[in-house]
A and B are shown apart, each in its own frame.
Chain A
Amino acid sequence: MNPRHSRLVICMALALLCGVSAVAAPPIELVVWHSYRGGEAAAFEKVVAAYNAAKAGTGVKVTTLPVPYDAFADKITAAVPRGKGPDMFIFAQDRLGGWVEAGKTIEPIDFYVDQATKDRFLTTTVQAMTYHGTIYALPFNYKVITMVYNKKLVTKPPKTTGELVQLAKSLTDAGTGRFGVAYWYSNFYYHAILMNTFGGGAFDASGKPILNCDGNIKSLELLTKWVDKDKFLPAEPSTALVTALFNDGKAAIVFSGPWFLGEIAKGIDVGLAPLPTVDEAGGKPMQPWMTVEGVFIAAGSKNKDAAYDFVKFVTDTPSAKIMAVEGRQTPANKAVYLDPQVVNDPTLRVFRQQVEVAVPMPNLAEMSMMWTPASSAMAAIVQKSATVKDALDHAQKEVVEAVGLLRKRQ
């Protein structure tokens, strides 16, 4: 055979092969929306590329579309119920309940998820993806608040609030604007670290608001003691203030999440440790709220089976390792933390320890009504313009009213 003929034969063979595979499985194109940027986006692209490589020849191809975070949820809410939008998307659990209640937005995947798949994840992260007993997404990464400290100022991170208060008081000097601890304590989300410890929270198990419950009152009484008596916290905190103080070396300890790590100035020697236990709550650990990013399947997707296959792949251990090591994420997958490369990473190790005691942030739609009244109450309490009990009663009344008005069928 001369070379020209052989080339022709190869071409024909290839054409035939293509034809066969085209007949065997019609190509399925899946689109996944995410809001990752920088290193995390690169890691996610790598995971998707690995999936596409594994699926080569089956006709399934996943493409990614980065969507800015600010517009993400609204785009999903507007596009998916009208039959547009992606097949899969990645988002945190806080909008889950709203999407379920609005309908036609996210696909329940209970049917697909078997026990083995469920066991793959930290139990609480699966809880975050569950709404009224139905699973709507597989958990991908979680974020929790932990203790970040300046190694120059703190040699041994405190294990209990007793130690914390003692250390913080010794490091505080209001005159020069130095503080032992700085965190956004007047914010409901940050305050959850104390609130959950005392058995408080936003909603009870049946979805009723419990802003003025005993646990919340006790937690705020402890906070007011810290602010008024121990005085190791700065006034009117905000993320900007906390970051500035920490970067200037004027705050020794900060309670914040992984988002804070990227804001830390170069020269600061940072250490991470799990949040201390609370002596006032009988030695129970501080329990931060956990936000979990899940991989959702859009209700409008034409290829839900294929989409679930992808969802399962990206939440599996090899993908989780890429996200953890290269994307600096904290995966919800348990097995990845057995990997030496992950377990020896000081940051990931602390977050893994911290998440053990974390509580999933409520995914109820009514949560959005909680923020403003709760924040107002906290501001009033911290500024001492109302007592703890009165402020919480007032906020509770407002939330109950708003929830009632929403739920009432006109």
Chain B
Amino acid sequence: MSKEPSHSRRFAAGVVAALVVGVGLSEWVLVRARTQENRSRAERVAVVALSAVTEVAERAGGAGDSLRRAVATIAGQNPGLKAIRVLVLDGLSLEASTASEDRGEKAAPRRLTRDEKPIYDQAQRLRAAVETNRQEGAARKPEIEVAGSAGGGLSLAAPLEKDGSVVGMVALETTAVPTAPRTDWLFPVVVVAGAGAAFWLLAVVMGERRALLALFACLLLMAAMVVMGRHAFTAVSGDRRATESAVAAAVGADEVSAAKALPELAPGEGAKPVHPANWDADVFRRPLGVIGADGKVDEAKFEQGLATGSSKTARVVGTFTVVAIAVLLFVGFGAASRLGATISKHHQAYTYTFPAIFGMVLLVFLPFLYGVALSFTGKSLYTSQVPLSEIWVGVKNFVDILGDFHIAKSTVTGLVWNYQNIYWTLGVTIVWTVTNVAYGVGMGLFLALILNTKGLLLRPIYRVIFVLPWAMPNYITALIWKGMFHQQFGVINQIIQMFGGTPVSWFEKPSTSLFACIATNAWLSVPFMMVICLGALQSISADLYEAARVDGATRWQQFRSITLPSLKPALIPAVILSVIWTFNMFNIIYIVSGGDPDHSTEIMITQAYKFAFEQYRYGYAAAYSMVIFAILLAYGIWQNKVTKATEGI
């Protein structure tokens, strides 16, 4: 370009773009957080009501007229409730209902109708959830189900218990959830405008000094983000405070209506008090403990909650700041304009390659990226339907995999290896790969040299025979070899016995077991190498050998100086391919040894398979696969360098 670009203009554009990105993202997250808070407030208030109704229903014996009276009283007291239903599993009975459609003929008590199957299934699900959690001594399955209902309200359900076991369900429907408070759009606009204007002033003062411009732009950006973060935190903590007061008020109100619903719960002589402190609970029915026994907000707990909220806000805003700075530098240092120029210059080329790019992205990169994302989560069979963001665990999987150094422990009987450890598995995989490839290359070259002999009798027949192992599906080969290694009937032990040896139990010890696998794969890997070598050998000009003979070179010298160097260009790519194939050769290990004994002969790919499809730990298995990918990538890059160095004879 003839004209030198203006740094101050570029940085001004960068600052504006970065501000819009950073402040925009923060504002978007703020709006979402406030909507979320609004929703969770409604949910907590509803859960308090649900717990109150459930406690009253349980006190009323879970059935009968007294239950129906109590439920009707509570429904009359609480204007936020649209309907209360109490269901008893035994006999599929709707014990009580205040829903508008359950009147007249359909009034409770009655048997559930066929179209009410979903409610029954929900009750069964809650019962199973409570039992599962009790059996496992953990909070795994939600014991309170909350969902949006058709009218914009919430529909909730909790198990109804009697004598310690679940006999039914209490379901609530609330009136519409109030809409979230409008978030002020003026504030972020002012922040962007203010920071932009400030940079403009600074740029006028500083002129075209690039480093200074960059520094001040960054500082300004950070300041703007800090302002934005404080603003967001104030708004959210205000909402949080409002939530706690609303929940506290709900607990108080529901306590009063519970007392009215059942006479024995009313305060006074011989009263059996309810437990309002437990009503504000999470989906596992564990009290949150923010509302104290006196019905007031526990300030210490509340502050503690705010502190975690504050650090979360700081983390989110920090991330956005980094993104914004990246945008700033990208635009400010001219990378953006260069990219734009390239695209407009080569737009035809990009248009032509678009279909291929699109296909690659859809079929290769997206699944790959999904795998990468999966490796940072705790996804398992039990969390199949949970969004990835809720089970995000960061690098925990990688730390668990790579940070586990319990490879062996010494006992009185000697070293005991931990075969599940990745370093053991990696060691086995490397031994497996190196042995196989070395044997494949050595034997393949040897056979190729023999077959390349001029005037060899029946050469085509030999070639067919040697290529046969390759032509058979490798799992069939694996099954045959497994049979050959059978302790009692296998042909290998029969031969050993013929020569007076004792039969070996091949899959009893890691060493013999791995040997059996390697023998199988070695047999499979020879033909490929042989074909490659044979092809390369036949392309070597006979003149070279003739010239060598004339010069008096021995056979060995000919081999060293002519044959080997000529084979190199064909052999090196074949070795690279072969290493990658063998590293991930699933079938042979899985079928022949299956990891026996005790996972000791597992290679990395079979181990990853077992994590994913036997233990159902998808996230962990994905992380394991990423480690395999990283190893092969590193190997590929290194090998590439070596190959470049050896290009040409």
Chain A interface (Cβ < 8 Å from any Cβ of B): 81, 98, 101-104, 108, 110-112, 131-134, 177, 206-208, 234-236, 238, 240-241, 304-305, 365, 368-369, 371-372, 376, 379-380, 383, 385, 394, 398, 402, 405-410
Contact = CB atoms under 8 A, between A and B. Distances in A.
B370 to A, nearest CB: 14
A379 to B, nearest CB: 6
B487 interface: yes
A407 B138 contact: yes
Contacts of A379: 507-508, 596-597
A235 B486 CA distance: 8
A101 B120 contact: no
Interface string B502-546: 000101110000000000000000000000000000000000000
Contacts of B382: 101-102, 365, 406-407, 409
Given A111-B112, A379-B508, 15 more contacts: A104-B385, A108-B124, A131-B128, A132-B128, A207-B135, A365-B381, A368-B613, A368-B614, A376-B599, A385-B509, A398-B420, A402-B615, A409-B140, A409-B378, A410-B619
B615 A406 contact: yes
Contacts of B595: 372, 376
Nearest to A373: B598
Contacts of B616: 98, 365, 368-369, 406
Given A133-B131, A240-B483, A376-B596, A110 B393 contact: no
Contact of A234 (B114, B128, B384, B488): B488
Interface in B557-597: 594-597
Contacts of B614: 368-369, 371-372
A376 B615 contact: no
Contacts of A304: 117
A68 B211 CA distance: 67
A410 B397 CA distance: 11
B135 A206 contact: yes
Given A177-B489, A368-B614, A385-B508, A409 B138 contact: yes
A368 B612 CA distance: 11
Given A134-B124, A369-B614, A405-B617, A103 B385 contact: yes
Contacts of B628: none
In this complex, which of A304, A305, A407 has the most chain B Cβ atoms within 10 angstroms of its Cβ?
A407
B589 to A, nearest CB: 13
A241 B484 CA distance: 12
Interface in B105-139: 112, 114, 117, 120-121, 124-125, 127-128, 131-132, 135-136, 138-139
Contacts of B598: 376, 380, 394
Nearest to B482: A238
Contacts of A111: 92, 112, 117, 120-121
Interface string B592-636: 001111110000000000100111110110000000000000000
B492 interface: no
B138 A132 contact: no
12 contacts: A101-B384, A110-B121, A132-B131, A132-B132, A133-B128, A206-B135, A236-B488, A240-B483, A368-B613, A368-B616, A379-B597, A408-B138
Interface in B82-97: 92
B639 interface: no
A384 to B, nearest CB: 9
Contact of A410 (B127, B139, B393): B393
A133 B488 contact: no
Nearest to B507: A379
Contacts of B483: 240
B127 A133 contact: yes
B488 A110 contact: no
B33 interface: no
Contacts of B385: 81, 102-104
B489 A101 contact: no
Contact of A405 (B393, B596, B615): B615
A177 B615 CA distance: 39
Given A133-B124, A406-B380, A380 B92 contact: no
B391 interface: yes
A236 B381 contact: no
Contacts of A236: 486-488, 505, 507
Nearest to B619: A410
Given A383-B505, A407-B140, A410-B393, A241 B489 contact: yes
Nearest to B89: A110
B161 to A, nearest CB: 14
A371 B507 CA distance: 17
Contacts of B135: 206-208
B381 A372 contact: no
Contacts of A134: 124-125, 128
B212 to A, nearest CB: 47
Contacts of A207: 135-136
A103 B142 CA distance: 13
B521 to A, nearest CB: 21
Nearest to A385: B508
Contacts of B140: 407, 409
Nearest to A235: B488
A367 to B, nearest CB: 10
Nearest to B92: A111
Interface string B356-387: 00000000000000000000011011111100
Nearest to A179: B488
A236 B385 CA distance: 42
Contacts of B378: 409-410
Contacts of B489: 177, 234, 241
A376 B385 CA distance: 33
A81 B385 CA distance: 9
Given A102-B384, A240-B483, A406-B380, A372 B597 contact: no
A103 B384 contact: yes
A133 B166 CA distance: 11
In this complex, which of B380, B393, B487 has the most chain A Cβ atoms within 10 angstroms of its Cβ?
B380
